[in-house]
Structure 1
Amino acid sequence: MICRRACFKVVDDLDLTPLISYLSQVAEKSGCDAKLTLNVSRKTLVCEVCCLRSKKLIDVIKARFAAVKGLKASKCFGSKGLTAPSGWWPLSGSVCLGVEAFTGSPFCLDERNLRRHAVIVGSTGSGKSTTAKKIFKELAHNKLVLDWHGEYRGVAKRIECISLNRLRSLGQLELMDALANSLKLTDAQYYLLMKVVQMLYAKGGEFGIRDIIFYLKSLEELSRWIRESKYSLLRKLEMLTVRGTCKFEITDLESLTEGGLVIDLSGYVTEYAKKFVSHAVLAYLFAKARGGELKRTYVIVEEAHNVIPKSSELSVADKIFMEGRKYGLHVIAVTQSPRAMSENVMKNSYVKIIHGIREVDDAKYVAESVGDPSLWKEIISLDVGEAIVAQRKLARVIISNS
């Protein structure tokens, strides 16, 4: 159920009886909850309506009330553009996003709920990245962001790129998973790559993508399928070596456990490289978490549909959504394309923060994921900075920019 309200300044003596009667009739006919409140000290009349059709209904009521002599439309506390007043933020353990649109009271997430994973969805420009940044700043535990577009440069103190020349700290299986998930390998390509990776681990010493390419080139071409698979695989691996423009310190995977880190992916030229680094980071953290070597960590994954796509094969990100919670590894996925993501994301995320979605099919998909198929009509009508937060129940929230 979504609540909206309209406010009016009382500029003259007013008989509320006809308005109360009108509101009661409208509420009964529409099946909505509605009430009328008069704030005498502020000379403000507040009309509140709660139902799934509240947006359309409140517009009708606004037009009716605006025609009443003695009333003048006014802004409500909780209207678009509202920022939360200072001094109300709760104590530790809460992640505060803004205010409830209906009551104007502070809205905060219990951090323990985020340990059951979360997803933030919304069309471009709806405010989802603002929400993700706010969560990043508010989280008290170890945290990390996979930043696809360089949007977190003013948020974190540590912004770094991951070196593709120091990969030994990834386990052999984790490295193969990261390469397979990012490069979409065929069975034949996977087989050849596995032979090279096994060779490099057996040899000892540090190695990177260029070393993999070097040893792959040296493989004998004993058959046509080996030759064809080898050169198609080389073309994919070369996409990981295209020099980017990382403006920050280049670090290795072992520094990920230090926390408060943004991995800037905007400097990597190809989508292949961005996906590989994302999968490598997640694979490394998951391995550490399963081994009991990682303190509680939250990972915000921007453009999550690129990292956790819908696929018949389970990626390491899928496994984290399914098992990561018990190891203290928690993901907050951020996307504008919810239907393109693995079903495990929506299925295994306890907290769903839904910003405005323009694509009707996406809105319907998200509405069904929270158990309320008719909610899509509200989702497509959300203003910039507004969100519906689904946990045990729905709440309409205005995200604070502060």
Structure 2
Amino acid sequence: MWILAALALLALLLLTGEGVLVGLRWGVPVFLPLDRHVVVLGPTRSGKSRLAKKIVRRSGLPALILDWVGEYDLGLRVDARHLRYDLRGFDKKLLAEIIGLSLNLNEPSIYFLYRAVRNAEVKRIGDVLEALESFLVTSRAEVEMRAAIARRLEYIVEVLERGRVPLDLLLRLRRTVVIDLSRLRLYEEKVLVSLFVLALLYDRVQKEGVSRQPRKLLVVDEAQNVIKRGDVVRHLVFESAKFGLRVLLVTNEVPPDDVLVHSYIIITRPHMMYKLQTKRSALVIDNKVVEMKIV
């Protein structure tokens, strides 16, 4: 029965001819539609990044790529240490959530950070630290909480305050841009930059209005480090689709179920932990599995 379903899906893809070529089945092209987000799933060294680069090239869309380990040799390449962040107008609750999730803060600490920045003028990341240090505390517990947050935030601010390349300018470009995260030493720095990019890009595409057609790709390499950061992150990913942004999540871990429901899945190499009935590379659309050779 599943063979008939796979054949029907393959026939549909071939008849429409829409999407990006990703593989061959029995010598016949298999296309990936771009009307949803995409998860590229596979174990280490199974060709995930190589396939992601092919999808970017073949889509013809401008792409923003978060390159965790320095594998993407496409377009304009920018060292993440050189980015400058304009946080004017940034939602304070979202700002506190993003910083808190990046630093693995608990809920009370995130709320404390929000209280500190709620009425402060925040133009850059350093302003967050200044608002935190000047925030009036009323108990010893709050003194200790403020010190703990400031200590962890200070390490990141020292790195991210040096940039001169406006991130907002890169988000406006109609070409492929690679943000190289590999030069950042701390894991928390990479996560924070990734979440800032996601949030600011979402804000930009939202202002451009609703679009049923894809207008831009966001490629998140090592996406397991980002997507598991909480509901606010997944909300930004889900909602961005209605504004023409397609997110390509490149990961070696199976994402949460709500991510899978909103995405097409490409498996570069099967693994017992993925719990999908396929013996080779495959495209999964609406629970239908089309085995293929990736090209």
The normalised TM-score by structure 1 is 0.61
Instruction: Select the residue among 235, 251, 257 that pairs with 1:319.
Output: 235
SS in 2 for 1:352: strand
By how many angstroms is 1:397 displaced? 2.4
Structure 2 counterpart of 1:258: 173
Computing the radius of gyration from Cα coordinates, the structure with the larger value is 1
Secondary structure in 1 matching 2:184: coil
TM-fit CA distance, 1:241: 3.0
Aligned to 2:285: 391
Matched, 1:119 2:39: yes
The answer for the alignment partner of 2:28 in structure 1 is 105
Q: Which residue pairs with 2:203 in the alignment?
A: 287
Determine the C-alpha separation between the residues in 1 that align with 2:31 and 2:70.
Answer: 27
1:79-90 to 2 correspondence within 5 Å? Answer: none
**Aligned residues of 2:86 and 2:166 also touching (Cα < 8 A):** no
Shift of 1:321: 4.0
Runs of 4+ in 1 over 4 A off after TM superposition: none
Q: Which has the higher contact order (CA 8 A, sep 6+)?
A: 2
Name which of 156, 164, 188 aligns with 1:240. 156
Count of residues in Structure 1 that have an aligned counterpart in Structure 2:
278
Deviation at residue 223 of structure 1 after TM alignment: 0.7
Counterpart code for 2:31 = C
For residues 160 and 139 of structure 1, do their structure 2 counterparts lie closer, same or farther at Cα, with a shift above 3 Å needed? farther
| Local SS of the residue matching 1:185 | coil
Q: Residues 165 and 119 of structure 1: is their aligned pair in 2 closer, same or farther, counting only changes over 3 Å?
A: closer
Name the aligned partner's letter for residue 305 of structure 1: Q
Please report how far the alpha carbon of residue 124 of structure 1 lies from its aligned counterpart in structure 2 after TM superposition: 0.4
2:14 equivalent in structure 1: none
> 2:198 aligned with 1:299, yes or no?
no
Identify the residue that residue 8 of structure 1 maps to in structure 2. Answer: none
* Alignment partner of 1:95 is 2:6: no
1:239, distance to aligned residue in structure 2 (A): 3.4
Superposed CA offset, 1:270-327 (max 9, x none): 1111111111111112223333358722211111111011x6x4123x1134332222
Query: CA separation in 1, counterparts of 2:283 and 2:141?
Result: 52
What per-residue deviation string (whole Å, max 9, x for no partner) do you get for residues 13-69 of structure 1?
xxxxxxxxxxxxxxxxxxxx9xxxxxxxxxxxxxxxx9xxxxxxxxxxxxxxxxxxx
2:104 is equivalent to residue 209 of structure 1: no
Amino acid at match of 1:292: E
- Return the letter of the residue paired with 2:74: V
When residues 321 and 251 of structure 1 are mapped into structure 2, their CA distance, relative to the original with a 3 A threshold, is closer
Give the structure 2 partner of residue 196 of structure 1.
116
1:243-285 CA-partner distances (Å, limit 9, x unpaired): 48x9x97332343132411111112111111111111111112
SS of aligned partner of 1:188:
helix
Q: Where does residue 333 of structure 1 map in the other structure?
A: 249
Give yes or no for contact 2:100–2:109 (8 Å, CA) kept in 1. Answer: no
The code of the aligned residue for 2:231 comes to L
The aligned counterpart of 2:62 is: 142
**Which of 191, 201, 213 pairs up with 1:275?**
191
State the superposition RMSD in angstroms.
3.1
On the 8 A contact 1:99/1:398 being kept in 2, the answer is yes
Tell me, in whole angstroms, the C-alpha distance in 1 between the residues paired with 2:107 and 2:90: 22
Task: Give the CA deviation at 1:230.
Answer: 0.4
**2: distance between equivalents of 1:187 and 1:94?**
41
**AA of the residue aligned to 1:266:** S
Alignment match, 2:143: 227
CA distance in 1, matches of 2:146, 2:114: 12
Deviation sequence 1:217-255 (CA, Å, 0-9, x none): 2334421121111011112212323548x9x97332343
- 1:76-130 alpha-carbon deviations (Å, 9 max, x no partner): xxxxxxxxxxxxxxxx954122432xx2233332xxx322111110000111111
Instruction: Provide the C-alpha distance between the structure 2 equivalents of 1:132 and 1:216, rounded to a whole number of angstroms.
Output: 40
Change (3 A) 1:230 1:148: same
Cα 1:228–1:342 change in 2 (3 A) is farther
Q: Give the TM-score taking structure 2 as reference length.
A: 0.81
As a proportion of its length, which structure holds more helix?
2
Unaligned runs of 5+ in 1: 4-32, 34-49, 51-91, 368-374
1:342 partner amino acid:
P
Q: Is the 8 A contact 2:238 2:262 kept in 1?
A: yes
Structure 1 residues 177, 253: closer, same or farther in 2, change over 3 A? Answer: farther
